[in-house]
Amino acid sequence: MPDQADSSHIPATVPRKSATFDDYTLSEIRRAAQTGIYDIRGGGAKRQVPHFDDLLFLGASMSRYPLEGYRERCDTAVVLGSRFASKPIELKIPITIAGMSFGSLSGQAKEALGRGASAMGTSTTTGDGGMTEEERGHSDKLVYQVLPSRYGMNPDDLRRADAIEIVVGQGAKPGGGGMLLGQKITARVAGMRTLPEGIDQRSACRHPDWTGPDDLAIKIQELREITAWEKPIYVKIGAARPYYDTALSVKSGADVVVVDGMQGGTAATQEVFIEHVGIPTLAAIPEAVRALQELDMHRKVQLVVSGGIRSGADVAKALALGADAVSIGTAALVALGDNDPALEDEYQKMGTTAGAYDDWHEGNDPAGITTQRPELAQRLDPIKAGRRLANYLTVMTMELQTLARANGKSNVLNLEPEDLVALTVEAAAMARVPLAGTSWIPGT
């Protein structure tokens, strides 16, 4: 029986919030109820998904010889586009800069990406909005994207590019087109895209002149004819059905297949799209590699992987699973200065915090990167930011070499699945490597 005399002292339970209706979910319901429109943001999937952190390298042991960490050579060069192109791209490191448009990024940011990548002997990529002089002028190797919108599409730029990337989709939104809201459609951006200034631009999600792999094969033929069969042609797909999409890209005549996982960023799209469409990078790589191997095209058609690459360890694990190179976007922006805690006061004024700022579409980036406002963009020094990117790429490369040597590899492309184990059953199933301490690969 309860003690009636002590009823005023019944211990209270701690306030308990729902795991289903957590704080973020509740805030989103309130925001939706107030505005009547879906949430738009930049970046990639923020949810927890199986990733490279769930893999470990085994390193050398009695049966594997390591290489001397500071003395013995470990090559990092990679050639992309050797299948059909007469002038394939030769990169000094297997880490490239992913496509990001002028428009979503400031001219200073594009210049900084070019400077940093060029210092390291690697490539940058245009985006949905055409090629700028800042970008071409500061990128020794520039990949020109052919997107559904065809904004700024120009045969002269096609011919002065070093490679061509046909974008079928991106990991943040497989099946979605680009989005750039009016705040960033300045006179210059509008002029490049043949759009009215200040409108909300919603790009097409399908190419205007081809549908399916049979058409794509002919489209690729046209692009090769226009560029005298010199340029490597990449096909970029969002990670959705990587086995089939990779096989169909090869069938269509691609020199390089780029697979972008759901952690890959976007300038802007619906939150629901980013978090609920597509599959993790880790899950996509083995499927793409399987398609290439079954077609006897592994290492003949190169595989570039992107989406959540942060360190040399991530690069090494992607290569070990069969990629030829990786692309970075979000990490490169952070290296330039995106989401820097030094700008916390300004993030707080916008109702966010360093590390969480993702309203890139609003164009108010205090770091001067995801903006078209001149007074903000001029905050970014392209030379210093380019140097930071080069430093970061240097560290990633050294980390990659460290892991490769530890596994006895004199070339980073010699890393292999046999060097890896998984920490979780999910990662073991996706990556198709054994659970650590066992010989068990789920599903085999």
Partner 1 sequence: MTVELDLAALSVRQVNAALQQAQEGTYRVLHPGGAHALACGLDAPVEITIDGHAGYYCAGMSKDADITVMGNAGTGCAENVMSGMVRVKGDVSQSLAASGHGGLVVVEGSASARAGISMKGVDIVVGGDVGHMSAFMAQAGRLVVLGDAGTDLGDSIYEAEIYIRGDVASLGADCIQKPMDEQHLAVVAQLLDRAKLEADPASFTRYGSARKLYHFSIDHMDEY
Nearer to partner 1, 146 or 297 (CB): 146
Tokens matching residue 345? 């006061």
227 lines the binding site for partner 1 (CB under 8 A): yes
229 lines the binding site for partner 1 (CB under 8 A): yes
Q: Minimum distance from CB of 124 to partner 1 (Å)?
A: 23
| Of 413, 411, 421, the residue nearest 67 (C-alpha) | 411
Site map 16..45 versus partner 1, x via CB under 8 A: -------------------xxx--------
Interacting span for partner 1 (CB under 8 A) from 22-30, 117-125, 154-162, 279-287: 154-162
Interacting residue with partner 1 among 22, 72, 133, 222 (CB under 8 A): 222
Contacts 24+ apart (CB under 8 A), 421-427: 421/55, 421/56, 421/58, 422/54, 422/55, 422/56, 423/53, 423/54, 423/55, 423/56, 424/50, 424/54, 426/50, 426/54, 427/50, 427/51, 427/54, 427/55, 427/282
Interacting residue with partner 1 among 215, 294, 416, 418 (CB under 8 A): 215
293 lines the binding site for partner 1 (CB under 8 A): no
* Strand-by-strand arrangement of the 142-146 sheet: 95-97, 325-328, 302-306, 256-260, 233-238, 163-167, 142-146, 124-125
Could you please report the per-residue DSSP string of 289-348? HHHHHHTT-BTTBEEEEESS--SHHHHHHHHHTT-SEEEESHHHHHHHTTT-GGGHHHHH
Nearer to partner 1, 181 or 309 (CB): 181
Q: Which residues contact 409 (CB under 8 A, 6 or more apart)?
A: 67, 74, 415, 419
225 lines the binding site for partner 1 (CB under 8 A): yes
Nearer to partner 1, 208 or 443 (CB): 208
Q: Is 11 exposed, middle or buried (0-12, 13-18, 19+ CB in 10 A)?
A: exposed
What sign does the dihedral 207-208-212-214 (CA atoms) show? negative
153 lines the binding site for partner 1 (CB under 8 A): yes
Nearer to partner 1, 2 or 36 (CB): 36
Nearer to partner 1, 193 or 236 (CB): 193
Tokens matching residue 401? 């070499």
Interacting residue with partner 1 among 154, 348, 378, 438 (CB under 8 A): 154
Nearer to partner 1, 129 or 386 (CB): 129
194 lines the binding site for partner 1 (CB under 8 A): yes
Q: Minimum distance from CB of 67 to partner 1 (Å)?
A: 45
Nearer to partner 1, 210 or 357 (CB): 210
Nearer to partner 1, 222 or 418 (CB): 222
Query: Which residues of this protein are in contact with partner 1, per CB under 8 A?
Result: 35-37, 149-150, 153-156, 158-159, 181-182, 193-196, 199-200, 204, 208-210, 215, 218-219, 221-222, 225-229
